[in-house]
Amino acid sequence: MSVATAPEPVPAARHAPFQPPGIVGQLLRRPLALFGLVVILAIVVLAVTAPWIVPFDPNEQTFDGLTLEGSPLAPNARFWLGTDLLGRDLLSRLLYGARTSLLIGIAANGIAVAIGAFVGIVAGFFGGIVGAALMRFTDLMMAFPALLLAIVLAALFHPSLWIVVLVIAMVNWVQVARIIYTETRSLAQREFIEAERGLGAGNARILFRHVLPHLLSTVVVWGTLGISTTTLLEATLSYLGIGVQPPTPSWGNIIFENQTYFTSAPWLVFFPGLVIILLALSFNLVGDALRDILDPTQKGRH
């Protein structure tokens, strides 16, 4: 005769602390990536809300914005970051400059990634004469120093915001094309692709169902890392006087306009230089973290 035993008590369920799922959650658990995300978000919010939060019009030459000798004012209670050589509030120009620099950086990098991904996929997937011609052209473009090529292209056209976007995109797509080509070429020779072909699948089905999903992580990583490069290139072109033209503020031309006062008013160069470095560093930190998360085999190789 069996003796019935009382069921064991079920332990109370423990409520784990909420953790954001997926890629965002992994980014938030990395201190450096979290720092980068916070800086990027802060700059984006300040840039978007600039028309409502700036204390002065960025092009307004205030009457009390210069000393009696006509020199820029140092940071004070009225002008938090000081004024420039024309008596304009530097904080207002930096916030409006963030709109210009972010727009150019994101738009130029988006176009560059789109062109590079298209060239790399076509050359790697279809191959043949078209693929060889595309990659030889890519190699030719890579042979030119990016900055020198950008200077030449910018000098050929009347500098404007969208001309600068196109110029930067034209010199930054080649690295993406080379990487996407290598990955596409490797995927096109995999056994599961050959199996799909053997089952009668067409190029369109293979490309959109099997190749593109494998390339998405690479595109995302380069779409993030490339923004720092395009932002720095925009600042360089504007500093050289062939980028965004005054009075439209951008971080590069703010430094260009005020470089002669570097010794007597260093804040005019220090503050825009600091935000350029912070933004580029932040996108690099986030891009590196995304590369580790989306492709663990690359961890520690960069």
| 250 closest CA partner among 159, 171, 187 | 159
Q: Output the six-digit token pair for 207.
A: 């490309």
Q: What is the DSSP letter of 159?
A: -
- DSSP code at position 209: I
Peptide bond into 213 cis (omega under 30): no
Nearest to 37 by CA among 288, 292, 302: 288
Selection from 116, 283, 251 nearest residue 184 by Cα: 116
What is the Cα–Cα distance from 52 to 130, expressed in whole angstroms? Answer: 51
How many C-beta atoms surround the C-beta of residue 253 within 10 A? 27
> What pLDDT sits at residue 19?
43
Burial class (CB in 10 A: 0-12, 13-18, 19+), 254: buried
User: Radius of gyration over alpha carbons of the chain, in Å?
Assistant: 26
Residue 231 vs residues 61, 170, 273: alpha-carbon distances, Å: 27, 14, 12
Structure pTM? 0.84
Q: Name the percent of the chain lying above pLDDT 70.
A: 90
What residues contact 189, with CB distance under 8 A and at least 6 apart? Answer: none
End-to-end CA distance of the chain: 70
Domains, the chain, ranges and CATH?
A: 29-45+88-294 (1.10.3720.10)
Tokens of 278: 């912070």
Candidates 299, 294, 270, 265; CA nearest to 94 is 270
Q: Give the model confidence (pLDDT) of 236-277 as tens digits.
A: 888 888 888 888 899 998 998 888 888 888 989 999 999 999
pLDDT tens, position by position, 179-220: 999 998 888 777 777 787 777 667 777 788 878 888 888 898
Q: Any bridge partners for residue 83, and if so which? A: 89
How high is the pLDDT of residue 11?
A: 47
pLDDT digits 0-9 by tens, 85-130: 888 999 999 999 999 999 999 999 999 999 999 999 999 888 889 8
Q: Which residues of 220-229 are buried (b: 16+ CB within 10 A; e: fewer)?
A: bbbbbbbbbb
Alpha-carbon distance of 267 to 102, in angstroms, equals: 22
Residues in the chain, overall count? 302
CA nearest neighbour of 92 among 76, 106, 102, 81: 81
CA-CA distance, 52 to 55, in Å (whole number)? 9
pLDDT at res. 8 = 54
